[in-house]
Structure 1
Amino acid sequence: MRRLFSSVLVDMTGIVVIGVAAYLIVFSQWFGALWAAEIPDSFRQFVTIFLSMVIEALPFVLIGVIVAGAIQIFVTEEHIRRWIPAHSFQAVAMGCVVGALFPACECGIVPIVRKLVGKGVPLGAAVGFLLTGPLINPIVILSTYMAFGNDAMIAGWRMGLGFAAALLIAWSISLFFSSNQLRRPVSLPVQRRKPQTSLFYRFEEMLKHSIDEFFDTGKYLMIGACVAAWMQTHVHTESLLLFGGNDAGEMLTMMGLAYFLSLCSEADAFIAASFRNIFSTSSILAFLIYGPMIDLKNTIMLFSVFRARFVVVLLMLVTAVVWLGVWAAKMTQGW
């Protein structure tokens, strides 16, 4: 009881501090005048980008941790064994298909994948879910279709090529790694009293796990958003054009831009559409596929959950497969 009271007290204190800070920033005229007079423009730009990233990602992280809590309490290892095919490639394909149907952000999907792997989902299937969830779910495809003037070509290539790339990457991961690669095992609920099976009790346990997961994941989201905001503030987009000059360089440039911008996949198509007069179609497609699969803040979150070697291999695989896949599409389509 004392431990629960301390945890609630710490959480409430954090909420109060955030609320006071938000009030000072939004409503306080004194703070606004001081902000305008004393703070450098570059720092204000940094804070604006940082807050926009956090505000944009938080709803998806909240959804992700609630789903993760539900998986922890309501999904057992026996369910996993019944639902996941025994054949590794079929398991990978199932993970990719489920991800494609599941609207998720690359931030909110990390705690879900962590719980799935901890429950016994094969690593390859979890990676397939991790890659396709933010990339080709229905919301992302619709936003891509609208961003490019109701042109189905880019949306279609993003969906088809992205799914094929995710399938190949996840299958490769299943061949390279036999264990789950988690940094630490997912903690199971500690029963301090007689186990209860009532729906209310299980819902209460789900919320407790969701809160723990939110604070565990949230700090890495903050760190990732902070680094990405600093990169956007101090590394100008024009400097990346120096690495272009040819099709291969332009594709790598746009992939690097997608990585460091760390945009939400529901909105990145509108940013990509603004580059149509500067970069080729293949480069824009590389931007649209690579960013949702792996970006800066997502990488930091992955390092907090999985072993460093696995994250590095995943990053290299995503980079190589996306670049080669888009290059092959360019050669066949003549972009």
Structure 2
Amino acid sequence: MPTTLFRASMHVIAAICFLLLMLIFLNKDMPSISMFTLEHMQAFKTIFISILLEAIPFILLGVVLSSLLQTFVSEQTIRRFIPQNPILGILFACVLGILFPMCECGMIPVVRRLILKGMPVYIAVVFIVTGPIINPIVFAATFMAFRNHPSIAYSRMGLAFAVAVIIGLVLFRFIKSSPLRISRAHFSAPEAVDGHQHPSGGFSGKLNTFFVHASDEFFEMGKYLVFGSLLTALIQIFMQRDSLLAIGQGPLSSHLFMMGFAYILSLCSTSDAFVASSFQTSFTSGSLLTFLVFGPMLDFKSTLMLLSVFKSKFVLLLSVLIAVSVLACSLLLERFI
């Protein structure tokens, strides 16, 4: 399974990052070799720790809420309120992100169950792409990260909403058959759908499921945060300032770089704003918005998860649609911020 392979590779990356950090932080007298000077190491530690300390509280809050929803709110409860009108359905999917803040890791398996139970594909996909962005936790994290530029937080919500409407309308118009890899015939056993056991009966069973889900998700997201913070700090310190400014101030190159950066880092949307804010002096506001919207909608981690749920052609179509929509809308929005 691609997700299993990816999780294993992330464990290896996390171990390498941990060993590297131990060498940097514990061996303070290590000899200066070329660019690894004491000044560089001090700056690296400052940037790395500041990103972690600012982001961890929001990850914890997001994990707790996500686990509560995963354990105590059933998909049927959401399905009862699905509108039949496509425009209202898209708006409903965007509002779901506000009411039920979840990251894509817990959202994709839930959405698969919702599609199998009758939720239209275009509404489910809009929920996937907007849920990790249009929610109060992410807004608060973005607002705190960009305290000196609060319009970024509002622009992020608006851009995500505009991109979601475009994606929803395109999918409503062109996708008529189910893109799921699993057919309805395989839905008889709930465990086969999401790959996890459902919580046992009673409040104690659900409470146990809540703590298991919360701890697993925190450490899962923690690996991505550490890896992303490490890579960001290294880029900030060791990449030539002139080269970074040349890319960051380019009308198109800055957006393309940030899209690729967001895709590789695979950060949780509750922490990516703190990574983006560290590039404020180097990159344009529009390219930072591209990073903040494209990453939660599509990254390396979510691509593998989508491929385990949807057919490859649909994932390719969705990826192209997200990339083109985010790039076009962010370039347009950049003229007004």
TM over 0.5: yes
Deviation at 1:152, TM superposition (A): 2.4
Per the alignment, residue 325 of structure 2 pairs with 321
Deviation at 1:310, TM superposition (A): 1.0
Q: Which amino acid aligns with 2:301?
A: K
Residues 257 and 207 from structure 1, CA distance in 2 versus in 1: closer, same or farther, beyond 3 angstroms? Answer: same
Residues 33-92 of structure 1 show CA distances to partners (whole Å, capped at 9, x for unaligned) of 9xx99xxxxxxxxxxxxxx99xx9899679757755766xx5559x83x42212222212
Picking from 289, 302, 312, the partner of 2:316 is 312
Per the alignment, residue 96 of structure 2 pairs with 98
Residue 260 of structure 2 corresponds to residue 256 of structure 1: yes
Which ranges of 4 or more aligned residues in structure 1 deviate by more than 6 Å?
Answer: 56-63, 202-211
Q: Which amino acid aligns with 1:187?
A: F
Per the alignment, residue 134 of structure 2 pairs with 136
Equivalent residue of 1:184, what SS?
coil
Task: State the alpha-carbon separation in 1 of the partners of residues 235 and 303 from structure 2.
Answer: 21
Task: State the alpha-carbon separation in 2 of the partners of residues 285 and 90 from structure 1.
Answer: 26
Q: Which amino acid aligns with 1:318?
A: I
- Which structure has the larger Rg? 1
Per the alignment, residue 169 of structure 2 pairs with 171
Deviation at 1:203, TM superposition (A): 7.3
Deviation at 1:236, TM superposition (A): 5.8
Deviation at 1:202, TM superposition (A): 8.0
Q: Which amino acid aligns with 1:180?
A: S
Q: How do 1:232-243 and structure 2 match up within 5 A?
A: 232=231, 238=239, 241=244
Task: State the alpha-carbon separation in 2 of the partners of residues 106 and 76 from structure 1.
Answer: 19
Residues 209 and 91 from structure 1, CA distance in 2 versus in 1: closer, same or farther, beyond 3 angstroms? Answer: farther
Task: State the alpha-carbon separation in 2 of the partners of residues 140 and 325 from structure 1.
Answer: 20
Residues 188 and 209 from structure 1, CA distance in 2 versus in 1: closer, same or farther, beyond 3 angstroms? Answer: farther
Per the alignment, residue 292 of structure 2 pairs with 288
Confirm or deny: 8 A CA contact 1:101 1:133 kept in the other structure: no
Residues 64 and 142 from structure 1, CA distance in 2 versus in 1: closer, same or farther, beyond 3 angstroms? Answer: closer
Q: How do 1:1-335 and structure 2 match up within 5 A?
A: 67=69, 75-76=75-76, 80=79, 82-149=80-147, 151-185=149-183, 187-189=187-189, 201=201, 232=231, 238=239, 241=244, 246-331=250-335, 333=336
Equivalent residue of 1:187, what SS?
helix
Q: Report the TM-score when normalising by structure 2.
A: 0.65
Per the alignment, residue 4 of structure 1 pairs with none
Residues 324 and 75 from structure 1, CA distance in 2 versus in 1: closer, same or farther, beyond 3 angstroms? Answer: closer
Deviation at 1:179, TM superposition (A): 2.4
Residues 200-237 of structure 1 show CA distances to partners (whole Å, capped at 9, x for unaligned) of 858799899999x99xx99xx79x96xx88x959x967
Equivalent residue of 2:177, what SS?
coil
Deviation at 1:143, TM superposition (A): 1.0
Equivalent residue of 2:131, what SS?
helix
Confirm or deny: 8 A CA contact 2:262 2:299 kept in the other structure: yes
Q: Which amino acid aligns with 1:263?
A: L
Confirm or deny: 8 A CA contact 2:62 2:270 kept in the other structure: no
**Which structure 2 segments of 5+ residues have no match?**
1-10, 28-51, 191-198
Equivalent residue of 2:315, what SS?
helix
RMSD: 4.5
Residues 101 and 266 from structure 1, CA distance in 2 versus in 1: closer, same or farther, beyond 3 angstroms? Answer: same
Deviation at 1:102, TM superposition (A): 2.1
Residues 62 and 114 from structure 1, CA distance in 2 versus in 1: closer, same or farther, beyond 3 angstroms? Answer: farther
Equivalent residue of 2:116, what SS?
helix
Q: Report the TM-score when normalising by structure 1.
A: 0.66
Task: State the alpha-carbon separation in 2 of the partners of residues 210 and 177 from structure 1.
Answer: 35
User: Identical aligned pairs, as a percentage?
Assistant: 37
Aligned length: 279
Deviation at 1:250, TM superposition (A): 0.6
Q: Which amino acid aligns with 2:319?
A: L
Deviation at 1:251, TM superposition (A): 0.7
Confirm or deny: 8 A CA contact 1:259 1:291 kept in the other structure: yes
Confirm or deny: 8 A CA contact 1:64 1:111 kept in the other structure: no
